[in-house]
């Protein structure tokens, strides 16, 4: 099938249908500008239809044997495996992702589905003791009901599945809104996979739309009890505010400004490899990307020489070419923004060790050092192929620099002494830090999430049970209670 022809629709209550809005979202290939699809936007009325369908379908699904729910997820993996080449080509075309990136995303998506299969059996309750004679306290784990999922453009297939699959496994229904730049890979393709896997109609609904059309309808609607949002901290703050006003739970995976620390005893060749991957994977459009490379001054000269040489060797261009390391940014606005950041830093006194040009949406990598301490870019997320090298004197200053940001998602520490690395990692104010590895990492069974403006809550493993279920206390009094009046 042609994904961009056949899936250029919304999926509501098992029906593939266009939205009823008065305008279209145009899905472009960010590398060559080719029009992939035109999708009429869903309105607030379609959002309501999707949530009502999910509400109707959820109760019987929650009552379904979890082993039966698990079998749907098992079939979904087989559907993906049977279509890997087609999905790879779709990721390359819609995201501008390289073949390496597409393979990375697909493999992780399958791993998260495998973990979701196990989650179907993990929502177990417990019996709690009581100080009252004859009382039995039962604590049940129940699905929250309906979950609203909003996914981003950078890893849309993975990050949609990452919330959708666990929510379904645990007995919930879902309404998914993909990013308008990736409506197929982040939305309708996911719905088609679960449809082919035998998921009953209404349990996964996809609305392709934009806040310009629906406003806050997706968050304010009375049906969803949890909103799982991945995106910028600016939008995440708004989602949290609206959700709190409606007494909804919000799980927020937001931006980052990760630091990769290279201490004085690090293996420099290895640290360079980790830093280049961490900064330039998917053109730097990754929330965990190492925006800042913080290097002990005693090894800074040697590290910088090796780092710049490796970055200069990266090939930019057509993401469909297997030799390409860096493809296009998602759109022209993002390319212009990244270029403007480099210009501003250089104008403020930073030294460009490597300065990339712009061709269409392809931005070649830049490496800057000597950044003024008051530069905003040191504390903000740069969603593009720009690396900031920051020399420091010792690990205390390295930690101070790493923490000098309102974000706290990921990080890395490179050093010969692993336990020293762990001690330093524990001082970094972020939800995840990796010793002698890259900053970009995600595994299905370990908690994923950030501190400060990088989000609220955690995903993965048992955290998914916390995110997408609720507890219910039911007490049973055996015999008669004695009341004071």
The answer to the question of residue 445 being in a domain is: no
Based on the domain organization, do 372 and 304 belong to the same domain? yes
pLDDT digits (tens, 9 = 90+) for 309-325: 999 999 999 999 999 99
| Mean pLDDT confidence for 59-80 | 96
Residue 432 has pLDDT above 70, yes or no: yes
| Residues 141, 274 share a domain | no
User: pLDDT (tens digit, 9 = 90+) per residue, 196-210?
Assistant: 999 999 999 999 999
User: 223 and 144 in one domain?
Assistant: yes
Given pLDDT bands bounded at 50, 70 and 90, which one contains residue 145? Answer: very high
- 358: pLDDT strictly greater than 90: yes
In this model, does residue 1 exceed pLDDT 80? no
**Domain presence at residue 440:** no
Under the banding of pLDDT at 50, 70 and 90, the label for residue 123 is confident
pLDDT at 18: 95
Report if residue 395 sits inside a domain: yes
Q: Which of 213, 253, 381, 395 is catalytic?
A: 253
The reply to whether 63 falls in a domain is yes
Query: Taking all residues of the chain, what is their mean pLDDT, rounded to a whole number?
Result: 96
Whether residue 479 lies inside any domain: the answer is: no
- Asked if residue 410 and residue 323 are part of one domain, the reply reads yes
Tell whether 284 and 384 lie within a shared domain. yes
Q: Please report whether residue 350 resides in a domain.
A: yes
Q: Based on the domain organization, do 39 and 180 belong to the same domain? A: yes
- What confidence tens digit (pLDDT) does each residue in 37-48 have? 999 999 999 999
In a domain, 484, yes or no: no
Whether pLDDT at 115 is above 70: yes
| Catalytic residue of the set 213, 287, 415, 463 | 287
What CATH number corresponds to the domain at position 135?
3.40.605.10
The predicted model gives 184-188 an average pLDDT of 98
Q: Are residues 429 and 463 in the same domain?
A: no
How many domains, the chain? 2
- Looking at the structure, tell me whether residues 226 and 136 fall in a common domain: yes
pLDDT at 122: 87
Residues 236, 285: one domain? no
HEC sequence for the chain:
CCHHHHCCCEEECCEEECCCCCCEEEEECCCCCCEEEEEECCCHHHHHHHHHHHHHHHHHHHCCCHHHHHHHHHHHHHHHHHCHHHHHHHHHHHHCCCHHHHHHHHHHHHHHHHHHHHHCCCCCCEEECCCCCCEEEEEEEEECCEEEEECCCCCHHHHHHHHHHHHHHCCCEEEEECCCCCCHHHHHHHHHHHHHCCCCCCCEEECCCCHHHHCCHHHHCCCCCEEEEECCHHHHHHHHHHHHHCCCEEEEECCCCEEEEECCCCCHHHHHHHHHHHHHHHHHCCCCCEEEEEEEHHHHHHHHHHHHHHHHCCCECCCCCCCCCECCCCCHHHHHHHHHHHHHHHHCCCEEEECCCEECCEECCEEEECCCCCCHHHCCCCCCCEEEEEEECHHHHHHHHHHCCCEECCEEEECCCHHHHHHHHHHCCCCCCEECCCCCCCCCCCCECCEECCEECCECCHHHHHHHEEEEEEEEECCCCCCCC
User: pTM for the complete prediction?
Assistant: 0.95
Residue 444 domain-assigned? no
The pLDDT of residue 276 is: 98
Q: Tell me, what's the pLDDT at 482?
A: 87
- Host domain of residue 339: 258-435
190 and 115 share one domain: yes
247 and 159 within one domain: yes
Judge whether 253 counts as a catalytic residue.
yes
CATH code at position 270:
3.40.309.10
| 336-351 pLDDT per residue, tens | 999 999 999 999 999 9
Q: Do 220 and 281 belong to one domain?
A: no
């Amino acid at each position: 099938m042609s994904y961009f022809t056949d899936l250029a629709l919304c999926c509501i209550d098992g029906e593939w249908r266009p939205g009823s809005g008065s305008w279209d979202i145009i899905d472009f290939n960010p590398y060559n500008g080719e029009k992939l699809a035109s999708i009429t936007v869903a309105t607030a009325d379609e959002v309501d239809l999707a949530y009502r369908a999910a509400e109707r379908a959820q109760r019987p699904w929650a009552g379904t044997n979890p082993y039966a729910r698990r079998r749907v997820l098992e079939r979904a993996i087989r559907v993906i495996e049977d279509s890997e080449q087609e999905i790879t080509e779709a990721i390359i075309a819609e995201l501008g992702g390289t073949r390496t990136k597409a393979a990375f995303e697909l493999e992780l998506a399958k791993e998260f589905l495998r973990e979701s299969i196990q989650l179907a059996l993990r929502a177990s309750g417990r019996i709690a003791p009581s100080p009252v004679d004859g009382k039995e306290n039962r604590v049940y784990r129940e699905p929250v009901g309906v979950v609203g999922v909003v996914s981003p453009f950078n890893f849309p297939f993975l990050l949609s599945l990452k919330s959708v699959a666990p929510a379904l496994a645990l007995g919930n229904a879902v309404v998914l809104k993909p990013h308008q730049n990736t409506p197929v890979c982040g939305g309708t393709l996911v719905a088609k996979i679960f449809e082919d896997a035998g998921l009953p109609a209404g349990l996964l609904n996809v609305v392709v739309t934009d806040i310009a059309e629906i406003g806050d309808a997706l968050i304010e609607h009375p049906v969803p009890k949890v909103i799982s949002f991945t995106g910028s901290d600016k939008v995440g703050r708004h989602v949290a505010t609206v959700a709190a006003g409606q007494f909804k739970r919000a799980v927020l995976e937001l931006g980052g400004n990760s630091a990769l620390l290279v201490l004085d005893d690090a293996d420099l060749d290895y640290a360079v490899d980790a830093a280049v991957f961490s900064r330039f994977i998917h053109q730097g459009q990754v929330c965990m990307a190492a925006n800042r490379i913080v290097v002990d001054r005693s090894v800074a000269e040697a590290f910088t020489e090796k780092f710049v040489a490796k970055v200069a060797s990266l090939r930019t261009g057509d993401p469909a070419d297997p030799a390409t390391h860096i493809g296009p940014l998602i759109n022209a606005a993002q390319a212009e923004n990244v270029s403007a950041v480099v210009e501003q830093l250089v104008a403020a006194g930073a030294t460009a060790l490597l300065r990339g040009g712009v061709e269409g949406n392809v931005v070649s990598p830049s490496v800057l050092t000597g950044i003024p301490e008051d530069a905003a870019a040191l504390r903000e997320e740069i969603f593009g192929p720009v690396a900031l090298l920051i020399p420091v004197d010792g690990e205390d200053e390295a930690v101070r620099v790493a923490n000098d940001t309102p974000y706290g998602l990921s990080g890395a520490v490179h050093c010969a002494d692993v336990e020293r690395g762990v001690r330093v990692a524990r001082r970094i104010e972020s939800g995840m830090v990796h010793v002698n590895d890259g900053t970009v990492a995600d595994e299905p069974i370990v908690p994923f999430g950030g501190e400060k403006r990088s989000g609220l809550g955690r995903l993965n493993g048992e955290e998914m049970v916390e995110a997408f279920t609720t507890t219910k206390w039911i007490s049973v009094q055996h015999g008669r209670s004695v009341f004071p009046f």
